[in-house]
Structure 1
Amino acid sequence: MSQTTDRHVSVLATGAHLPGDPIDNATLARLAGPLPDDVLEGIQVRRRHWIADPETGEHRTSTSRMATAAARQALRRAGVGADEVDLIVMSTASPDQPLPVAATRVQEQLGLDSCAVIEVRAGCVGAVQAFDIARRLLADGTHRTALVIGAESVSPLLVPFYLGQDPDRVRMRDRLTVHTFGDGAGAAVLRAGEEGSAAGRPRPAFATRSMGGARKPGMLIAGGGTDAPLAEQQRRKRLMDIRIDIPGTATFGPRVFVDGIHDLLRRSGLELADIDACVLPEGNAEYFSSEYGTAGLSAEDQRTLGKTIVENLADVGATGSAAVPLALDAGWTGGRIRPDDTVLLLAIEASRYLYAGLTLTWEVPAPTP
């Protein structure tokens, strides 16, 4: 029996979509109460975009429509027609409805009668997991052209923290949650080429793990599930709620990152010095990066890593499944990620302290404006 050779998989283009106008910290301070300057500096979010109108809570778009907008931009930049897509892999923790999955809404909005669809229900790590699922299905010849999408709508959970309340009475931990998160979608077009076309390039490596099996969740979104009868859920203060273990995420999150990057480098055979761009959406946030040493990253490795981090947290906030694809798009379109760069995608998720990482070689120049 002859050995099957994987086909080379290329990223042809990325796309992004952010809903509405940017919402600055002054607007949220007026609505939900201010945060101390040192806390704002620590989270480093200056603006974000929401599907919910911050003044009224009215929804102006949806997760699937954002995903479709990002996908269309990626397809346009790639010069690929929607009818050429035979696989959509999407990640979100905030679908339009539990069923049908949001990826089929994207399929519908792109006008695709028939298409393979896979949806990953996750937060930050999901888009990287989706990326690798698509890459493998293209590499083994199952499909040829894929859309990978990460999309998230967190703002519907945030507005109830303050809407109709005196801003001075909003709890400080709730203000921190409101200021931290944003909505958005990012997408990438992947295509399989011929066998052997990746000669001389390192093979992609993938690593993922949940490190929180024995810990309480770092983030919990309660409501709308089957943890309790619906009538009981409706008696809660909020039908859906987002709860964050702030001390836990600040102290254990960096350890998850350090374990993740060491795992991925070990699997890939690369050193940190070999990485040209590390797409790590929260990599420069002070509350996170200040704990790298305690988590086991040497001072030398911290300096090396600091030169490679690609992120856009200040402009979009923490965006869950959209975080890595949004940062990847910003890095590529801004010229930070260039042809022949060795790129490391790394996502950290607080829910059960997960990481997911993928290495790849970038091939396409930045799009013309």
Structure 2
Amino acid sequence: MTIDRNVTILGTGSFLPGAPISNDDLEKLVGPLPADVLAGLQVQHRHWMIDPAAGDHHISNSRMAEAAARRALEQAGVSPEEVDLIVVSTASPEFHLPTAGSYVQEHLGLERCAVIEVRAGCVGAVQALDIAFRQLADGTHTTALVIGTEAISPILAPSFLGRDPDMVRMRDRLTLYNFGDGAAAVVLRGGGDAEGATRYGYVNACMGGRRAPGMRVVGGGTDRPIHEQLQRKRLMEITLDASGVAKYGPQIFVTALRELLDKSGLRLDDVDAVVLPEGNADYFSREFEEAGLSHADFDSLQAKIVENLADVGATGSPAVLLALDAGLADGRIRPGHTVVLLAIEASRYVFTGMAVRWPAEIR
């Protein structure tokens, strides 16, 4: 793909609210999961923006986004005033309107800048990166903040607060043990003399047009009259088709990886790191051969995967950027690496991916 202007990745940052909540901590609040199910999830800790015991909010979605953004800006050596584009992805905003991105703008003290919001889960941050790359490359904007942020715990809280842990439904425990909150950000700049990030390709597709959703966040929308929604046991809840995701997930993953490599003109051997929201989760670690990935490619892929699911849980929008920031911090991603950012979202079996050569120097 031809890029009109140089686009440089200047820095990354992340924010996780509160102290980590271990599986032992969670068991006391919501009851246990069967050992085999817990092992399949592979989540050991997660962070919630709520007080797990009382449900009070310690921070908001947009404040988490601001915190991650400030850390990314500090690493990049960029002041907030230099930002002229903010692209935010979230599926859990504080309000339907105004957008969460406009609140990030307010928190950063910016009277005016462009704000774009993507309503998505795991795939959203990579979609947001693509938007920023394009608008920096064509000269529409100069300095961009791309943020993935998610506040899932407030939606989960009604399923266990004030209840005997033994009375919490098993399907609710599955989501409670799975999900976490957080935010992550990337700073990019177009133009200038610094060595830019060569973008090899981008892919994006929804493969669930003829399938039932793998995950839904129900309530608070316009699917039913509000008086009917208020009669539900819970105004909002997350439903997850775990068996459907386990069965169809590998096919989505293999399709996404193949299409991105083809679009980018890369072979798997050319790639140094594959950043995923949940690369070693059970439903992404089995049935790959049936989905069309050879044993050799599977083994090669495992050595390149960068993810941090065990430490943060399934976080939706910030997941890929949280893993990216962690991979940079611990040296799994290094200057000059060819990096694949690949996200799979169960909601409607969506995938998106971007392949870039990481800058030779990162501030």
Amino acid in structure 2 at the alignment position of 1:212: G
Shift of 1:286: 2.6
The residue aligned with 1:210 is: 206
The residue aligned with 1:331 is: 327
Shift of 1:157: 1.4
- TM-score w.r.t. structure 2 length? 0.97
Q: Is the 8 A contact 1:7 1:196 kept in 2?
A: no
Q: Structure 1 CA distance, aligned partners of 2:233 and 2:260?
A: 42
Deviations 1:216-270 (A, max 9, x none): 1001111111111101000000001111111001111121111111110110010
Shift of 1:195: 8.6
Deviations 1:54-95 (A, max 9, x none): 111111111100000000000001000000000000100001
| Residues 1:30 and 1:5: Cα distance change in structure 2 (over 3 Å) | closer
Q: Structure 2 CA distance, aligned partners of 1:366 and 1:115?
A: 25
Q: Is the 8 A contact 2:8 2:194 kept in 1?
A: no
Amino acid in structure 2 at the alignment position of 1:362: W
Amino acid in structure 2 at the alignment position of 1:361: R
| Residues 1:72 and 1:5: Cα distance change in structure 2 (over 3 Å) | closer
Task: Give the secondary-structure state (helix, strand or coil) at the position aligned to 1:356.
Answer: strand
Shift of 1:5: 5.9
Q: Structure 1 CA distance, aligned partners of 2:33 and 2:361?
A: 40
Task: Work out whether 1:184 is the aligned partner of 2:182.
Answer: yes
The residue aligned with 1:242 is: 238
Shift of 1:365: 5.1
**CA RMSD, Structure 1 to Structure 2 (Å):** 1.5
Q: What are structure 1's unaligned runs of at least 5 residues?
A: none
The residue aligned with 1:160 is: 158
Q: Structure 2 CA distance, aligned partners of 1:158 and 1:29?
A: 15
Deviations 1:185-238 (A, max 9, x none): 00000011249965xx85431000000000010011111111111010000000
Q: What are structure 2's unaligned runs of at least 5 residues?
A: none
The residue aligned with 2:62 is: 64
Task: Work out whether 1:104 is the aligned partner of 2:102.
Answer: yes
Q: Structure 2 CA distance, aligned partners of 1:266 and 1:303?
A: 20
Amino acid in structure 1 at the alignment position of 2:71: Q
The residue aligned with 2:43 is: 45
Task: Give the secondary-structure state (helix, strand or coil) at the position aligned to 1:321.
Answer: coil
Structure 1 runs of 4+ with >4 Å offset? 194-198, 364-367
Q: Is the 8 A contact 1:13 1:364 kept in 2?
A: no
Task: Give the secondary-structure state (helix, strand or coil) at the position aligned to 1:165.
Answer: coil
Q: How many residues align?
A: 362
Task: Work out whether 1:255 is the aligned partner of 2:255.
Answer: no
Q: From 292, 306, 316, give the equivalent of 2:288.
A: 292
Shift of 1:44: 0.6
Moved more, 249-258 or 232-241: 249-258
Tell me the percent identity: 61
Task: Give the secondary-structure state (helix, strand or coil) at the position aligned to 2:333.
Answer: coil
Q: Is the 8 A contact 1:207 1:260 kept in 2?
A: yes
The residue aligned with 2:145 is: 147
Shift of 1:291: 2.4
Moved more, 260-269 or 189-198: 189-198
Amino acid in structure 2 at the alignment position of 1:282: E
Amino acid in structure 2 at the alignment position of 1:84: E
The residue aligned with 2:300 is: 304
Task: Give the secondary-structure state (helix, strand or coil) at the position aligned to 2:57.
Answer: coil
Q: Structure 1 CA distance, aligned partners of 2:5 and 2:96?
A: 35
Q: Structure 1 CA distance, aligned partners of 2:108 and 2:304?
A: 35
